[in-house]
Structure 1
Amino acid sequence: EEPDEKVSLSSIHQAKGLEWSRVFVLCMNDGLFPMATALREPGGEEEERRLFYVATTRAKDELYLTYTEIREGRRMRQDLLAVSRFIRELQGVKNSQNQPLLDRVEVVFNTDPGLEAPKETKALEGD
């Protein structure tokens, strides 16, 4: 028997046509989303924009767009990363009722490396 709440991990391509109450879109940094390689191809940015639309419209209630400002690069150097142009473009956009598209924007800084993995974990098999 599966619990009522579960986490589904999906690529944006696999998510097309599906919806969830909460959706997290990770790595919303220029160079990652949109991907740097796509930006060098004709029509690449527009294809990435379509994928962004698919990703953001999978959320029924809550959408979380995450990005990082600093990442550990090669040889222990830290790279500064720019927030995705797609997030910047959403600021000030309004919906069909002339309400801000983004209900609330929160910037949260987290320097905590995270929690240790639990000693015992249980995974559910499925789709």
Structure 2
Amino acid sequence: MTSKTIAPNPPEPEPGWITIGAKNNAVPPAHWFYLFHIVPDQPDKPFCFEESVGGGHMAGGGAIQLGLFELDDWPGDWRNHVLKAGCPWVAEIIDTRLSDNVQDLISTILARRNS
């Protein structure tokens, strides 16, 4: 039996994904990451929620992309996910939005991330 060394950092995002938050939520280090990404070139489903167990969503865990109006119907609890990903402020931005313009939300989230 061979053992696999698990990196202490979150996995690299897919091309075109912008990582907003990534946080390890388990012991040992690097075992269970929660990640939240923006996928700006897919405006119908720009919000990506990923769990990585030991190296990436393909290695273990999974990822789902959702649109703005799919968030509350997702049984994965998107607010808890962004909390675990270390960016709870994303939920505040989405919940207090002044409009349903997805591009405005993406811009606001990216501006906050980059501030």
Shorter-chain TM-score tier = under 0.3
Larger radius of gyration: 1
Higher relative CO (CA 8 A, sep ≥ 6), structure 1 or 2?
1
Per the normalisation by structure 2, the TM-score is 0.28
Per the normalisation by structure 1, the TM-score is 0.26
The structure with the largest strand share of the pair is: 2
The structure with the largest helix share of the pair is: 2
